[in-house]
Amino acid sequence: MPGVRDDCFAGEVLTTLDDARAWSRQWCLEDYGLRRHSRTQRRPLEHFHVEEQALLLPAPTTPYDIPLWSEPKVGRDQLAVVAKAVYSIPHPHVGQRLTARADAPIVRFYARGLLIKTHARQGPGGRSIDASDYPVERSIYAMRNVDALRRQAEAAGEVIGRYATGLLESPLPWTRMRRVYALLGLVRRYGATRVTDACTVALTADMLDVKRLQRMLEQGLTAAPAPPPARVIPLGRYLRPATQFALPLRPAASSEEEESQ
């Protein structure tokens, strides 16, 4: 570059870009290209025709792709934002600030100069999530794998699986995944047996609320309450027969006696 700047263009009067191109072509072919190189002792034009020209690729038909460089920070959700699109990053780099190079087809992420992750370029608002970047316990939520989450609940117990299926019944089931995660948290905290009993009572009452289910477990209400016993009215201590309460009324006279009178 210093040679082109100082020898080719310095001191010349070039008014247009076409003049600069024509002069630089002449300089390469007739001036600098015929000078003998001090190290290789070969003329640059001769070296180009013998070794380099056959290795050239076809001339590009599209404009040069200028890469976009940025320094995104990896959030706790293992996502980094580049050009308004999010990309997943391996878990060991959470909280770090990386160097990102975004070309038209691909996005590369570097940590201290080392390439750690590549993604296909996404448009603004797009997402590129790789399940292998997440630990096993987080990959289900990252990939919105509702079926895998349901199978995990069924592994804890059949009744718990039916309760989780009821929680996920929605046109957008991934919006209710947090409820199933809370249900699995209750299983880890209280054990599958107690949660199964509580889910049995809740399903009987058609109650699909994890917070109320938690209160049931905290209060020990893991069985259906027994119905109250029938109320029995005890006999009075001084109960008297009904005849003692009869009033001394005159009996009604018959129709024959009224006619005789």
Could you read off the pLDDT of 128-158 as tens digits, one per residue?
988 788 876 666 666 677 888 888 888 888 9
Coil/strand/helix, residue 95: coil
DSSP string, 144-155: T-HHHHHHHHHH
Kindly report the length of the chain.
261
* Residue 108 bridge partners (DSSP): 101, 118
In this prediction, residue 261 carries a pLDDT of 55
Cα–Cα distance, 161 to 97 (Å, whole number):
41
Domain ranges of the chain: 2-55, 68-134, 144-219
pLDDT tens, position by position, 6-55: 777 787 777 888 888 888 888 888 888 788 878 878 888 888 888 888 99
| CB 119, CB 106: distance < 8 Å | yes
| CB 116, CB 89: distance < 8 Å | yes
- Please give the model's pTM, rounded to 2 decimal places: 0.48
Cα–Cα distance, 193 to 172 (Å, whole number):
30
Cα–Cα distance, 153 to 173 (Å, whole number):
15
Task: Please give the structure tokens belonging to residue 148.
Answer: 């895998």
**Which of the 8 DSSP states describes residue 177?**
H
